[in-house]
């Protein structure tokens, strides 16, 4: 795997060199300019990245995307005023450019320039996806202190079919700095008991924002666990995985022994607890918890990886390899990446 990574880096370096030479001959080749900017960003070579973003604007001054690229580069380098100016220009040229619209809007909210932020929203709203525009509108209302209207927008946002995690998360974060934060979280949690169009987005946004706002109250959704629909079950799974990432052993054990029977009913929560037990080094408990994997046709490779790792740590190598082989039969790149090394 390390050798493959080194190979990819060498190939990328060769591609960069070839594109640099091409741009010397044809500096107005904007597609190549964008590729170079992206490649330098991937390598965290910020000086070269910014240089090509500036050149992008130079050779394509009426391209909104070019100004968005430059705005992002300037913001990363600490030039906030320059970044805002670039994002403003991007929005003028291309109102449908969601990245630039949201960045420009966010900077204006931070400056408490609410009138201009509203003007940006009005200019872009009809060109953006509806949940993106609704998310911006909710944040503006929160910033202005219009709590009731903001909560209404939040309610509508939760049922958007094209909702993305970050669109909901930034609204919950905005509420997190106000006295209405708990009401906002309860709006989202109420949807955990309903069929929703974007259950994964609701679950992940809630989990991330909840960790920043009031993590001690996260498990209150389990009080009505029998009523949780998919979004609610995914939220519980996401929270358990967060406990595992943070190695919060007591919280993981509490979940296992207090709610174990319920957690076994869903493959999402079953797999999440297996991950948390393995991450916390509770290998015996993990091996026992995931032992019924053959009865779970929806089990995913990453779930079985935790069982394989636990069995191997317990000195049960033969059993670990057997589980890895079962996981490989699931097929796909994820299975090969996570489990292939165990059987070679």
pLDDT (tens digit per residue) in 138-185: 999 999 999 999 999 999 999 999 999 999 999 999 999 899 999 999
Q: Are the beta carbons of 275 and 248 closer than 8 angstroms?
A: no
Contacts (Cβ under 8 Å, ≥6 apart) of 298: 267
Residue found under tokens 């000086």: 47
Can you tell me the mean pLDDT for 4-17?
Answer: 75
Q: Helix, strand, coil shares of the chain as percentages rounded to 5?
A: 80, 0, 20
pLDDT band at 3 (very low <50, low <70, confident <90, very high): low
Whether residue 28 has pLDDT greater than 60:
yes
pLDDT at 7: 57
- CA 181 to chain centroid, in Å, comes to 21
Q: Are the beta carbons of 195 and 230 closer than 8 angstroms?
A: yes
Least confident span in 190-199, 206-215, 308-317: 206-215
Identify the three-state secondary structure at position 229. Answer: coil
pLDDT at 141: 98
Q: Is 227 exposed, middle or buried (0-12, 13-18, 19+ CB in 10 A)?
A: exposed
pLDDT at 11: 82
Rounded Cα gap, residues 319 and 342, in angstroms: 11
Which tokens in the block code for residue 147? 């709590």
Contacts 24+ apart (CB under 8 A), 239-243: 239/207, 239/210, 240/269, 240/272, 240/273, 240/275, 240/276, 241/272, 241/275, 241/276, 242/207, 242/211, 243/276
User: Helix (H) and strand (E) counts for the chain?
Assistant: 19, 0
Residue found under tokens 């629909």: 229
Residue 293 is classified by DSSP as G
pLDDT at 267: 96
Q: Are the beta carbons of 242 and 208 closer than 8 angstroms?
A: no
Which tokens in the block code for residue 282? 């509770």
Q: Degrees (nearest 5) of the Cα angle 283, 284, 286?
A: 60
Whether residue 123 has pLDDT greater than 70:
yes
pLDDT tens digits for range 284-302: 999 999 999 999 988 999 9
pLDDT at 2: 47
Can you tell me the mean pLDDT for 228-255?
Answer: 97
Q: To the nearest whole number, what is the mean pLDDT of the chain?
A: 94
How many other CB atoms are there within 10 angstroms of residue 297's CB atom? 8
pLDDT band at 94 (very low <50, low <70, confident <90, very high): very high
- CA 320 to chain centroid, in Å, comes to 31
Q: Is 120 exposed, middle or buried (0-12, 13-18, 19+ CB in 10 A)?
A: buried
pLDDT at 116: 98
Nearest of 96, 154, 142 to residue 120 by alpha carbon: 96
pLDDT band at 27 (very low <50, low <70, confident <90, very high): very high
Q: Are the beta carbons of 138 and 174 closer than 8 angstroms?
A: yes
pLDDT at 82: 97
Residue found under tokens 């939760």: 158
Q: Are the beta carbons of 278 and 290 closer than 8 angstroms?
A: no
Contacts (Cβ under 8 Å, ≥6 apart) of 81: none
Residue 197 is classified by DSSP as S
Whether residue 4 has pLDDT greater than 90:
no
Can you tell me the mean pLDDT for 117-141?
Answer: 97
φ, ψ of residue 76 in degrees (nearest 5): -65, -35
Strands (E), 161-233: none
Q: What percent of the chain shows pLDDT beyond 70?
A: 98
pLDDT tens digits for range 35-44: 999 999 999 9
The kind and range of the H/E element at 143 are helix 130-144
Whether residue 15 has pLDDT greater than 50:
yes
């Amino acid at each position: 795997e390390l050798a493959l990574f080194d190979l990819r880096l060498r190939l990328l370096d060769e591609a960069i060199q070839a594109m640099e030479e091409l741009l010397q001959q044809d500096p107005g080749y904007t597609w190549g300019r964008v590729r170079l900017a992206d490649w330098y960003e991937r390598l965290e070579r910020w000086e070269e990245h910014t240089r090509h973003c500036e050149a992008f604007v130079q050779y394509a001054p009426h391209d909104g995307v070019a100004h968005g690229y430059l705005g992002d580069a300037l913001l990363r380098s600490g030039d906030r005023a320059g970044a805002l100016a670039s994002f403003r220009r991007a929005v003028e040229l291309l109102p449908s450019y969601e990245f630039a619209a949201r960045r420009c809007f966010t900077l204006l909210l931070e400056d408490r320039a609410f009138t201009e932020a509203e003007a940006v929203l009005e200019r872009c709203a009809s060109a953006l996806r509806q949940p993106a525009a609704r998310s911006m509108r909710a944040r503006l209302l929160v910033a202005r202190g219009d709590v009731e209207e903001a909560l209404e927008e939040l309610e509508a946002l939760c049922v958007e079919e094209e909702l993305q995690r970050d669109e909901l998360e930034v609204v919950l974060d905005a509420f997190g700095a106000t006295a209405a934060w708990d009401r906002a979280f309860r709006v989202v949690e109420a949807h955990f008991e309903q069929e929703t169009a974007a259950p994964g987005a609701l679950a992940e946004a809630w989990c991330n924002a909840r960790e920043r706002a009031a993590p001690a109250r996260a498990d209150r959704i389990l009080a009505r666990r029998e009523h949780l629909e998919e979004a609610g079950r995914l939220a519980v799974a996401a929270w358990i995985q967060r406990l595992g990432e943070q190695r919060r052993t007591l919280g993981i054990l509490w979940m296992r022994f207090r709610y174990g029977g319920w957690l076994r009913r869903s493959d999402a929560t079953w797999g999440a607890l297996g991950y948390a037990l393995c991450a916390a080094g509770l290998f015996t408990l993990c091996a026992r918890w995931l032992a019924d994997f053959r009865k779970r046709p929806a089990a995913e490779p990453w779930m079985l990886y935790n069982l394989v790792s636990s069995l191997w740590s317990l000195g049960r190598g033969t059993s670990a390899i057997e589980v890895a082989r079962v996981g490989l039969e699931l097929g796909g790149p994820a299975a090969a990446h996570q489990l292939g090394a165990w059987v070679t």
